[in-house]
Amino acid sequence: MSGAADSVDVVIVGGGIAGCALAVKLAEAGFSVVLLEKSTRFRDHVRGEALLPWGVAEARELGLEQALLAAGGGYAGALVACGDGVSYHEAAQSAVDLSKAVPGVPGALNVGHPDACEALLHSAETAGAQILRGVVDIEIPAGEEGAIRFAVARRKRRLRCRIVVGADGRRSAVRRQTGLRLMSSTPRTYGAGLLLGGLPWPTGENAGGTEGDLHYLAFPRESGVVRTYLFWDAARGNLVSGSSSAQDYLHLLSSQFLPDGCDLGGAAPKGPCAAFPMNDSRCDHINPPGAVLVGDAAGWSDPLIGQGLSIALRDARMVAETLIWNRNWHPDIFRGYCAERAERMRRLHISARLATELRCGFTAEARNRRRKWNEEVQRDVQLSGPLLGNLAGPETVAAEAYDPSVIRRILALGEY
């Protein structure tokens, strides 16, 4: 390791959606940026692959929509909500029009996570950011604000910077080494995912439904594959582990309503099958001296409601704008970002708890609640507020919709 440290404006740890998007904007603004990424090639880790309409708006603000489309992304303008005895064909007649969620946004953008990361990483490099891959042994020395150590290609390196951005996911080394505490909720459900080919799924239709003791989601892509997810009660444990995980998954998925012609006998797994307990988390503080956290490193919402990509892009935009507009970078520069994110995540945590009760309740009472909610929401739009915020952005919904009294009223719909 050399004695003198190289110096840059920003070091971003993590080359996922948030880290790459931030690197693009800061490099375009003329800052010297180094992005450190552990992987040498992005792989399918069964992560979120649907950018909901408010996330698309964020991608446009960041100038990244075309990069995501070029990476194989495509729009789904409809959401088919089937299940509880209602077939996919029947539900498609009254599908939710996703193009109405955010003006000018044609719907949800479905894109493979590895493909999106690779495309945004290339965009960051094109914009002028320095990309280092295969980085290991990241260390933020205690008491040395603005310093970071790491190893790449078996060589130890040290950088000094004006700020370190932790965009390194759920197991964030930046969060851990700066002494920040992550608080996680108890999982209510398990979720599993599998990318499938060989299914003639309508390209422009995302889908979801609850039938029996499972809830499923599906996000088709322009390339002809469809990302599917299954959710079940966490008390049942992991239902798709081991060498037969893909076959077990397909057996479970066969109990759900799929589009006409989608015979799972001809489905071909196109990636790994993996299952995880579903929960959310938060950090009370995401801006330690000399650093700031974005994306999952700063806490996440339950993946059941599919907000991860949108959260990452909002975080990247807000941090980028903060640094670009306030070039003196005083210690409390991120006060606005921290406050906005705390309220945003509070609302999304409420929405996730509600969605879990509505979608992943598998008792007779839960089925009755879904039926009554579908009836009542036609007369009182406030009852759909938290879930509408998942499409249009949590800040677009009146604060009253997240009040505990409204949530209690929805949950009481299932009572006989």
pLDDT value for 5: 53
Distance CA 262, CA 278 (A): 27
Q: Are residues 152 and 211 in the same domain?
A: no
Q: Residue 121 is inside which H or E element, if any? A: helix 113-127
DSSP-derived letter for residue 86 is: B
Report how many domains make up the chain. 3
The pair of three-digit structure tokens given for residue 113, joined into one six-digit string:
């996570």
Q: Let me know if residue 69 belongs to a domain.
A: no
Are 40 and 82 found together in one domain? no
Does 81 share its domain with 212? yes
Are residue 204 and residue 313 in the same domain, yes or no? no
Does any domain span residue 70? Answer: no
For residue 36 the two structure tokens come to: 């450190």
End of a domain among 315, 342, 369?
342
Looking at the fold, whether 353 and 399 belong to one and the same domain comes out as yes
71 domain-assigned: no
- Model pTM score: 0.96
268 shares its domain with 311: no
Same domain? 46 vs 147: yes
- Give the CATH number for residue 14: 3.50.50.60
Q: Mean pLDDT by 10-residue block, N- to C-terminus, for the chain (416 residues)?
A: 68 97 98 97 90 98 98 96 95 95 97 96 98 96 86 94 97 95 96 96 95 97 95 97 95 96 94 95 94 97 97 98 92 96 97 95 93 85 85 94 90 77
Look up the CATH number of the domain holding residue 86: 3.30.9.40
Strands (E), 212-368: 214-220, 226-233, 268-269, 274-278, 281-283, 291-293
Are residues 267 and 399 both part of a single domain?
no
Q: Which domain holds residue 354?
A: 345-414
Task: Give a yes or no: residue 370 inside a domain.
Answer: yes
